[in-house]
Structure 1
Amino acid sequence: MATEDARYRQSSQYRLWSFTPSHLSALREKTNTLARTQISNRLRASSPPVDPLPDFLSPAEEYSLLTFFTVELLRAAAFCQLPTDIQATAAIFLRRFYVTNSIMTYPPTTLLKTCLFFGCKAEGYYMRLQKFAEKFPNTTGEEVIAAEYVLCQGIRFAFDVRHPFRALEGAVMELRRLGDFDDDRINKAHKRTRDILKFSPLVTDAYFHYTPSQIMLAALSMADEGLVQRMMREAFSGEGESAKDKVMGAIQSCRAMMEQEPPERMADYWGTTESKNMIKPLNRMLRKCRDPDRVDLIALQKARREQAQQKTKPKPGLKDDGAVLGVSLEEERESKRRKVASKTDDVFGPPL
C-alpha cells in the first residue's frame, strides 16, 4: 500500500507546483523580464507611441502587490461567505497564476474574481454566475469568466489543490489518542492552528515549498510547540534523531515563513494606513506600465474566439464536390428542391 507521502508525490501539486526558493525566485525574475520586454514593444508600437517608457515593477514590487491582492481575495471570499477550502483553493490559484504571468500583463483585480468563481467549480460548490457577479460592484458575469481559460493555462490545468486542513484533524485525533494533554489545551491549539492555516500559508510561498502535513505541523507549532514535540517523539521513536531532526528542520523553516504573516496581520496591517501607503505608489506604477493589449480581457477573449473561428473555415484552395462538378452546393440543393416541388403540390413532398 502506498504511503501518504508517496501519494502526494504523484499529485500535480508536487510535480508541477513545488519549487526550491531559488527556483521560484528565478521563475519570477524571468516572468518579470519577459513582461518588461513584451510591454515595452507594445507601448512603442502603439499609436501614438509611448516615449519615454514608464518605470516597470521589479520582481519584489510585483510580489508585494501579489500579497496585497491575495489578502483582497480572502476578504472577498469571506464577504461571499465561501467555505474555507474554496477560499484556500482560490488563493493558491491566484498565486500559481502569477508565477509565470506578470501582474503587469493580466489585471489582478479581475483575476482574483475569476479565481474565486473557478475555485467554486474546482471544489464542487455550485454558484450561479450572475449571482456571484452581483456581489461585486461594477462587475458582469462576462467579465468574471473572460479570463477562465487564461487562468487554466496559467495554472497548467492543475485543478487539484491539497490543503493542510484534513491533516490537522488527523493530528488532533492522534493527540487525543496519546492522552498526554487535556482537551482544553488541544481544543485551544486546534482553533488557533486552523486560524493560522486559513491565512498565513495562503499569503506566503508555503504551498510552493512544503507539503500539507509540514504546513500543518508548522502552524500547530506556532499555536503550541509542546504538542508538536510530543507527536514527533511518538512518530520517530524507533528511527533515530537524524530523521526527526530533518523533519523538524523543515517544520521550523516553514514556521519562520508563516510567522511573517500571522492571522492578526489581516486586521492589524492589511487595510490600515500603513499598508495603503505602501501599496498606493505600486498601484500607480502598475496603471502606467500594464500591457495595453490585455487590459480589457473581454475584448481579448472575443478576439481569440474570432481568430479560432477563422482557423476552422475551409481554405480557399480546397474545393467541395459541387465546385468540382461545376455547380455550387447551394445551386445543387435548390435544383433538387424544384424537382420535388414540380412533382407534387404537397408541401411535405410526394408520398413514400
Structure 2
Amino acid sequence: MATEDERYRQSSQYRLWSFTRAGLQDLRAKTNSLAKQQIAPRLTANPPPEFLTAEEEIRLVRFHTIELIQAAQFCELPTEIRSTAAVFFRRFYVTNSVMTYPPTELLKTSLFFGCKAEGYYIRLSRLSEKLSGTTSEQILAGEFLLCQGVRFAFDVRHPLRALDGAILELQQRLPDEQSRINKAHVRAREVLKFSALLTDVYFHYTPSQIMMAALQMVDKTLVDVLVPAPPSGAGDGAAGEMHKKIIEAIASCRVMLEEEPPERMSSYWETPETIKSMKPLRKKLQRCRDPDRVDLVALQKARREQALNKEKKPAGSGEGELFGEAISREVKRRKVDTADDVFGPPMPL
C-alpha cells in the first residue's frame, strides 16, 4: 500500500506546481520578460511606457489576492472555496503576466471556478450580483484562460484538514490541556486562511509541512509533541537525521508564513496608506498592459467569431473525385449487333 508521501508525489500539486525557490523566481522572471516582448509591439505610445518588473508583478498579485479574499468573505463563501480560488489565482500568474491578463477580472473568475472545483453550488447570477459592477459574461470570459493557466490541475491539497487531524491527535495525547489546544487550533487556522495564501508556501512545501509551520507559529511545544525527537543515543543515526530535516523544513516554512501574519490584513493591507501606496503600481499597469487582452469578453467573442468564420473544407463533388475519374449518372446502354445475335435475324413476314 502506498504511503501518504508517495500518494502526494503522484498528485498534480506536487508534479506540476512544486518548485524550488530559485526555480520559481526564474520562472516568474521569464514570464515577465516574455510579456514585455509580446506587448511592446502592440503599444502605440511614444515613447513606450515603462514596464512592470517581476517584483512589482508579485506585489500586485499579492494585493489582488487580498481583494479576492475580501470578495470571498463578502460573498460568504466557505474557507475551502476562498483558499482554492486564491491558489488558482496565484498559480495562473506564475506563467501569465498581470500585464497580459487583467487581475481584476481573473480574481472573479477564480472565485467562481473555485466553487466548481470544490463542488460548491452557487448560481452565477447570484455571484455577479454580489460583485457590484460585474456581469455573468465577465466572470465566464476568463474561465478557459484560467483552466489553461493552471494546466487543468484542479485538485488543490490544503493544510486545513491536516490541522484538524493534528488537533485530534493532540487532544488524545494531552487530555488535560484542551483549552490550550483549542486556542492554538483557532490561531493556526487563521494563519492558514491568510498567511499561506499570500506567500509562496504552496509552491515549496507539502500541506503537512505548512500545517506544522502554522502550528509552530502559535505554540512551538505542540509541534514537539507531534514530531518528537528520537530517543537519546539514536540522535546521530538515520532517525536523528530525518528529524533534523523535518524540523528544518518546518522552520523554513514558518519564516515564510511570518512574512504575512494574519494581523497584517487589518493593520497593513486595509489601511488607506497601503491602498494609496499601490496606486502608482496600478497606474503603471494601466499604461503598459496588453491592449488586445484588456477586455476578456471582447477577446472571447473575437475568438468565437474567428472559429466560426474558418473556411470549411469543400465537400467532394461525387464518386469521380473519390475514385479519380468522372462517372456519368446515366446508365450506358450497350448496342447489340443483330448480326451477331445467337438467335439470328428476325423472321420475314
In which range does the TM-score fall when normalised by the shorter chain? 0.7 to 0.9
Contact kept? 1:57, 1:286, Cα under 8 Å:
yes
CA distance in 2, matches of 1:196, 1:17: 21
CA distance in 1, matches of 2:321, 2:246: 74
The farther-off stretch of 269-278 and 87-96 is 269-278
Q: Does 1:128 align with 2:126?
A: no
Partner of 2:242 in structure 1? 243
Q: Does 1:19 align with 2:51?
A: no
Partner of 1:51 in structure 2? 46
* 3-state SS in 1 of match to 2:203: helix
Q: 1:149 to 1:178 in 2, by over 3 A?
A: same
Partner of 1:315 in structure 2? 313
Q: Does 1:183 align with 2:178?
A: yes
Structure 2 unaligned regions, length at least 5: 323-349
Partner of 1:4 in structure 2? 4
Partner of 1:33 in structure 2? 33
Partner of 2:298 in structure 1? 299
Deviation at 1:310, TM superposition (A): 3.1
Partner of 1:289 in structure 2? 288
Max Rg structure: 2
Contact kept? 1:221, 1:227, Cα under 8 Å:
yes
CA distance in 2, matches of 1:255, 1:184: 23
Contact kept? 1:175, 1:181, Cα under 8 Å:
no
What pairs with 1:1-352 in structure 2 (closer than 5 Å)?
1-43=1-43, 49-179=44-174, 182-233=177-228, 240-311=239-310, 313-316=311-314, 318-321=315-318
Deviation at 1:136, TM superposition (A): 1.3
CA distance in 2, matches of 1:161, 1:320: 53
Deviations 1:187-233 (A, max 9, x none): 11011011110000100000000000000000000010010012111
Partner of 1:347 in structure 2? none
Q: 1:210 to 1:320 in 2, by over 3 A?
A: farther
Aligned residue type for 1:157: F
Deviations 1:45-64 (A, max 9, x none): xxxx3211101100000000
Aligned residue type for 1:281: P
Aligned residue type for 2:300: Q
* 3-state SS in 2 of match to 1:19: coil
* 3-state SS in 1 of match to 2:312: coil
Deviation at 1:322, TM superposition (A): 10
CA distance in 1, matches of 2:317, 2:134: 46
Deviation at 1:180, TM superposition (A): 6.6
* 3-state SS in 1 of match to 2:88: helix
Deviation at 1:242, TM superposition (A): 1.2
CA distance in 1, matches of 2:147, 2:293: 16
Deviations 1:290-334 (A, max 9, x none): 0000001011001111222234x5224x43549979xxxxxxxxx
Taking only aligned residues, the RMSD between alpha carbons, in angstroms, comes to: 1.7
* 3-state SS in 2 of match to 1:89: helix
Task: State, as a whole percentage, how many aligned pairs show the same letter.
Answer: 60
TM-score, normalising length from structure 2?
0.88
CA distance in 2, matches of 1:138, 1:177: 50
Equivalenced residues, count? 317
TM-score, normalising length from structure 1?
0.87
Aligned residue type for 2:150: I
